[in-house]
Amino acid sequence: MTAATPVTTTPPLTPDKPTAASVAKKRLSSPWASLAAIVLAVLWTIPTFGLLVSSFRPERAIKTTGWWTFFSDPTVTMDNYKAVFGEDGGVNLASYFVNSLMICIPAVLIPMALATLAAYAFAWINFPGRNVLFIVVFALQIVPLQVTLIPLLEIFVNIDLTGTFWTLWISHSTFALPLAIYLLHNFMREIPSGLIEAARIDGAGHVSIFFKVMLPLLTPALAAFGIFQFLWVWNDLLVALVFAGGGDEVAPITLQLANLSGTRGTAWQLLSAGAFVSIVVPVVVFLLLQRYFVRGLLAGSVKG
């Protein structure tokens, strides 16, 4: 996690004025540039595509022939997807899928709400110790999760929370706070102070300013952080392994997929379908909300 990333703004596209890159590209004799781009795009897509095709092939076909032979001998089946969702195969992805959703919703909403409050205090309220505290929160972004896991696990054992969603909700929320506060604080500082001053003169307190002035303006920043955090929590393996490793009742889908890969590493009919079931939600979220996601990336880089 980088502590600070400059906010790179994307200017509106001006089609008639060439950018340095486009000039460079044109001079590079366009066909070669296009060819290179296509080669890269194909290279990047093939691995996913191969597994996707395989997930629809019969088990025997997956295990005896390459997925590329599908095009000369296309047989399509949904059996693999039935198998990963079925109770008897022992994979039972449906229940892990539910777990992932149960983990994600509070783990996105809680830090979002807490960070908005905290960022508001840092951005718009004067209080002693503000700068020191903000620097501490800012610096906490660089703490790797690994450093915190074992003592946190001990705390959860002591208060008897192990094996519940609470461990994941609390830990994911905590880990998200420094980045969320940093992002939202930056965004809030850009709101003209005149707006807040005017509201104060009208006699509005911090609570009503927060709800009536700030929150409506914050929607894009909240969306960016929300998507970010959702993808992070949905895709997480480490935190889930440590806090939910023992119990199937709370383990997310990534954990089951990782276990499957470890214990039944050659069951490609299950692994391929399972991988796509786990991918589908983040990919849909990403495709629908790409704009916000990219904005979030540009504003704050990645956490981890």
CB of 135 to another protein, least distance (A): 12
List the interface residues with another protein, window 14-73 (CB under 8 A): 14-15, 17-28, 33-34, 36-37, 40-41, 44-48, 50-51, 54, 62-68
List the interface residues with another protein, window 174-233 (CB under 8 A): 174-175, 177-178, 181, 203, 205-208, 231
Distance of CA 127 to the CA centre of its chain: 34
CB of 47 to another protein, least distance (A): 5
List the interface residues with another protein, window 79-138 (CB under 8 A): 95, 98-99, 102, 105-106, 109-110, 113-115, 117-118, 120-122, 125-128, 130, 133, 137
By the rule CB under 8 A, 148 interacts with another protein? yes
CB of 75 to another protein, least distance (A): 15
By the rule CB under 8 A, 275 interacts with another protein? yes
CB of 73 to another protein, least distance (A): 12
Binding to another protein by CB under 8 A, coded x per residue (else -) over 226-265, reads -----x--xxxxx--xx--x-x-xx---x--xx--xx--x
Q: Which of 58, 92, 166, 220 binds another protein (CB under 8 A)?
A: 166
Q: Which of 164, 191, 223, 264 binds another protein (CB under 8 A)?
A: 164
Beta carbons of 229 and 176 less than 8 angstroms apart: yes
Q: Which of 87, 131, 192, 287 binds another protein (CB under 8 A)?
A: 287
# chain residues binding another protein, by CB under 8 A: 140
CB of 221 to another protein, least distance (A): 17
Q: Which two tokens stand for residue 206?
A: 């911090």
